[in-house]
């Protein structure tokens, strides 16, 4: 399997572990073309391009809950978290999505210059590709998990899954953080949990927000999607995708299962049924449909089941017979 095919596989894997409700008809927030499925025919490059185009399709930005706003595309989630001292932007999409994200921020009535901090779910082109442009446009400080810093600063070189296939504009990290570190601006605190495996520094961010007098625990889930091309075991003829990947995934699932979550958000819209919840929200659903603790636990359980299937499939003839602690 070549690298472009792997990239297609990531998209497919993301959809598989997402709710079956997601990949359906066009939704009010998205233009009709947005929900067009990736072409099944053509070369792997054609399919990768079609999958990326569907993910990038514009989506009307909207207020999610409390001080949290959606400024991403149909498939790729990006968030503005507002504070009295300026705003935080979590993820940017692909590099060529930067104008779209910037316009979404402005459409909501925010100024690019109000963005003071940039944070990232993980150092892949579809989530951090626009960081260099957004950093330039906002003048914000970029804060990132130590293990993903080399990939951000090199523009995706030596990626554990994609190698040099999915490069993006490199960006300087201003503050390097570690598991459990916090980012505070204007009295709003975001906590960073290392939930690695998808990349060595994949980060799940949490915060609290208030609406109608109630406080809610918010989880911005990084990606916990494992794919068959993740080599979880280090075999003589087939090295692990990166050293420690299996223990990283195991740790990530232990962490995300234990996080208190009222408001379920994530790096891809499909992970948390973004379109369906958006439509319910704009139609006046009460309580806010993004308050979905059961949906969070169900998504994590589906993702872990998918991961365990891959573990089992790789524990074949020449794999270790015992589980890694």
Residues 6+ away with beta carbon under 8 Å from 118: 88, 89, 92, 131, 134, 135, 138, 140, 141, 142, 143
Binding-residue pattern over the window 206 to 245 for Zn ion, x denoting contact by CB under 5 A: ----------------------------------------
Closer of 56 and 124 to Zn ion (Cβ):
124
Q: How far is the CB of 323 from Zn ion (least distance, A)?
A: 26
Number of residues this chain uses to bind Zn ion (CB under 5 A): 1
φ and ψ of 318, to 5 deg: -105, 15
Q: Characterise 156 by phi-psi region: left (phi > 0), alpha (psi -120 to 50), beta (else).
A: left
Closer of 124 and 278 to Zn ion (Cβ):
124
Q: How far is the CB of 198 from Zn ion (least distance, A)?
A: 5
Q: Does position 6 bind Zn ion by CB under 5 A?
A: no
Closer of 104 and 120 to Zn ion (Cβ):
120
**Residue from 4, 47, 124, 135 in contact with Zn ion (CB under 5 A):** 124
Q: How far is the CB of 279 from Zn ion (least distance, A)?
A: 26
Residues 178 and 194: beta-carbon distance below 8 Å: yes
Binding-residue pattern over the window 72 to 111 for Zn ion, x denoting contact by CB under 5 A: ----------------------------------------
Closer of 185 and 225 to Zn ion (Cβ):
225
Q: How far is the CB of 124 from Zn ion (least distance, A)?
A: 3
Closer of 216 and 271 to Zn ion (Cβ):
271
Question: Torsion angle, CA of 25/26/28/30, rounded to 10 degrees?
Answer: 150
Residues 6+ away with beta carbon under 8 Å from 108: 61, 62, 63, 69, 71, 80
In the complex, which residues of this chain contact Zn ion (CB under 5 A)?
Answer: 124
């Amino acid at each position: 399997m070549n690298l472009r095919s792997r990239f297609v596989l990531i998209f497919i894997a993301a959809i598989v572990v997402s709710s079956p409700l997601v990949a359906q008809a066009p939704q009010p927030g998205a233009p009709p073309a947005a929900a067009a499925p990736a072409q099944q025919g053509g070369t792997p490059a054609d399919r990768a391009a079609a999958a990326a185009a569907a993910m990038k399709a514009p989506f009307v930005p909207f207020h999610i809950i409390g001080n949290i706003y959606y400024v991403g595309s149909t498939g790729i989630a990006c968030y503005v978290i507002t504070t009295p001292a300026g705003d935080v932007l979590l993820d940017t999409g692909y590099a060529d999505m930067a104008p779209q994200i910037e316009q979404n921020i402005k459409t909501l009535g925010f100024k690019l210059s109000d963005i003071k901090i940039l944070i990232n779910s993980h150092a892949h082109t579809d989530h951090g590709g626009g960081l260099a442009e957004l950093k330039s446009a906002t003048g914000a400080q970029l804060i990132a998990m130590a293990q993903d810093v080399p990939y951000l600063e090199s523009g995706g070189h030596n990626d554990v899954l994609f190698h040099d296939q999915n490069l993006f504009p490199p960006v300087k990290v201003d503050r390097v953080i570690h598991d459990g570190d916090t980012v505070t601006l204007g009295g709003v605190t975001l906590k960073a949990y290392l939930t690695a495996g998808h990349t060595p520094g994949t980060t799940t961010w949490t915060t609290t927000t208030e609406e109608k007098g109630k406080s809610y625990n918010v989880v911005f889930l990084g990606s916990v999607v494992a794919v068959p091309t993740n080599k979880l075991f280090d075999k003589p003829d087939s090295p692990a995708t990166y050293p420690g990947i299996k223990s990283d995934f195991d740790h990530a699932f232990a962490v995300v299962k234990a996080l208190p979550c009222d408001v379920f958000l994530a790096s891809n819209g499909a992970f948390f049924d973004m379109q369906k919840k958006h439509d319910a929200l704009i139609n006046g659903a009460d309580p806010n449909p993004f308050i979905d603790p059961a949906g969070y636990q169900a998504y994590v359980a589906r993702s872990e089941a998918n991961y365990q299937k891959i573990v089992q499939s790789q524990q074949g003839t020449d794999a270790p017979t015992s589980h890694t602690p």
